[in-house]
Chain A
Amino acid sequence: MEEEQEDLPNPNQASEKTLDAASRKHAAMLERLANRKQSLSSRKPSSDSNPDSFESTHSFLSRFSQSKLSIDSDLSRSKSKSDLDRVSISISDLEKLVAENSYFLPSYEVRTCLKTISDLKQTVENVTSEIVPKKKFGFKNKKASTGFVPEIEPEIQAFEQEKPSYPIRELPGFREKENEVLVKEFEGSEIGEFTISDLNFCEVRLKGCLRALFVHRLRNCKVYVGSVFGSVLIEEVEGCVFVLASHQIRIHHARESDFYLRARSRPIIEDCNGVRFAPYCLSYDGIERDLREANLEEETGNWANVDDFRWLRAVQSPNWSVLPENERVGGVTISNLDE
């Protein structure tokens, strides 16, 4: 300021001086900016050193393989059920780690890691079946994978110990069968729900229209269903093929099974893996009428709009896939005279 006042008599010089001052100011500003940027970038790595957020594929992979090695060695030393439970927990932790970091990992790495994890799970299962022989179903890591351990207070335990006081009804259904063809035709609209549970190597054919279907613990079965006006709940199935049409479809704890579906809404899966989906392909005499009655005559394309509640992110869930066309059954026809 002083300078400018001093030089006021000479306008030319003054403007030169102000120019000079301006450029000096500018330079100072640039320097300040540069400093600021540097201090910012020097601060950044320190915040990145937080052990949980490392966006580097390399460091992730080394961490992954370390965990895998330790799981492998734990597994080889496992002698009891509780050892295995511990191993299962570390496997699901590892799975969580992959899921948390999958947003920056290349898809190849994600796939490889998930494959490794499913191999580990398989090994655990094999070891489990050696240690704890013949248990009908093998969903061992159910507890660990739900991720929350309910605390049970004494009063609640008292509830649990009481025997159910309600009449145990024998509701319509097929239960505890092996190597059989089970056929049921629903006539009229008075049918309510139907249950199929604890079947092994069976073929189930349900014709007509029913309100609700419960499916529980099936192994290596084929299930063909006309139309379900309400909802279908499928739990704990393995190695099965389902062909069914329904308003709502929920699938929990299913493994290595194929679903040929028609659904009014989006089918959902939870705690499943290796499940594949294709469009509905059943036919029998009068199926059009049954489908129409349940408002299911229209192909909605929802069979491919599967929501995985265990995979709430934008990338495709590793737990399910569309059944490739060349592996689909061409169409299933069940005749009136069965056997």
Chain B
Amino acid sequence: MGLLSIIRKIKRKEKEMRILMVGLDNSGKTTIVLKINGEDTSVISPTLGFNIKTMTYNKYTLNIWDVGGQRTIRSYWRNYFEQTDGLVWVVDSSDLRRLDDCKFELHNILKEERLSGASLLILANKQDIQGALSPDEMAKVLNLDAMDKTRHWKIMGCSAYTGDGLLEGFDWLVQDIASRIYVLD
């Protein structure tokens, strides 16, 4: 029995997934996590450090790591890379000025070997704001087609404010992870 199949077996028993949420500050990561968990989103301070949320989603247990995106603490993202099954990159689609910054940080994180096997969901957030870039435009700006061909990824427009698109995005992510690490049953 190879190591990989042992790991698969352990994971299958627990049905657990580890999901890492990152992105620039002000993109709405914490709001998204609270929204899909059905919590109040009206008072959220910029994240100093990180939050962990454990929630049941379909028949899986998701451990969501929501890590602060302020520039000062971006260098700590690497501490959360280990054993990540799914990566959620959140973009503020209305913040056109910092898109280069966003693209740079995204491609930087995708070079990380420890994340090479993780499924990637890009949430183009704040679609409810007038003037926001559409998911297609965002995919062009972030140059997603230039990504490694082996990467499983999807871009999804959403609004953490109205909740639109969030479940659809997480459905894809969870299904994609499940098809990789669990034997389909």
Interface on A for B, CB 8 Å cutoff? Answer: 146-148, 150, 153, 156, 159-160, 162, 164-169, 171-172, 190-193, 195, 197, 211-212, 214, 216, 230-231, 233, 247-248, 250, 252, 264-266, 268, 270-271, 295, 307, 309-310, 312
Residue from B42, B70, B108 in contact with A309 in the complex, judged by beta carbons closer than 8 Å: B70
B72 touches A309 (CB 8 A): yes
Q: Pick the contact of B72: A169, A192, A270 (CB < 8 A).
A: A270
A268: chain B residues within 8 A (beta carbon): 45-46, 48, 70
Q: Is the CB of A248 within 8 A of B26?
A: yes
B28-48: contact bitstring with A at CB < 8 Å (1 yes, 0 no)? Answer: 000000000000001111101
Report the number of A-B residue pairs with Cβ-Cβ less than 8 Å.
103
Q: Which stretch in B53-61, B139-147, B172-180 binds the other chain?
A: B139-147
Contacts of A192 in B (CB 8 A): 94, 129-132
A172, A195, A231, A271 pick with most chain B CB within 10 angstroms: A231
13 new A-B contacts at CB < 8 Å, known A192-B131, A193-B94:
A160-B104, A166-B99, A166-B141, A168-B96, A169-B96, A169-B131, A212-B129, A230-B129, A231-B26, A247-B43, A265-B44, A270-B70, A295-B42
Chain B residues contacting A146 (CB-CB under 8 Å) are 71-72
Residues on B lying within 8 angstroms of A by beta carbon are 25-26, 42-46, 48, 70-73, 75, 94-97, 99-100, 103-104, 107-108, 111, 126, 128-133, 137-138, 140-141, 143, 146, 161
Contact B46 A153 (CB under 8 A): no
Chain B residues within 8 Å of A148, by CB:
75
Please determine whether A307 and B94 come into contact, CB atoms closer than 8 angstroms.
no
A193 to B26, CA, bound (A): 13
Report B-chain residues with C-beta under 8 Å of the C-beta of A197: 97
Let me know if A264 and B46 touch, CB within 8 A.
no
Residues of A within 8 A of B72 (CB): 146, 270-271, 309-310
Query: Is the CB–CB distance between A248 and B46 below 8 Å?
Result: yes
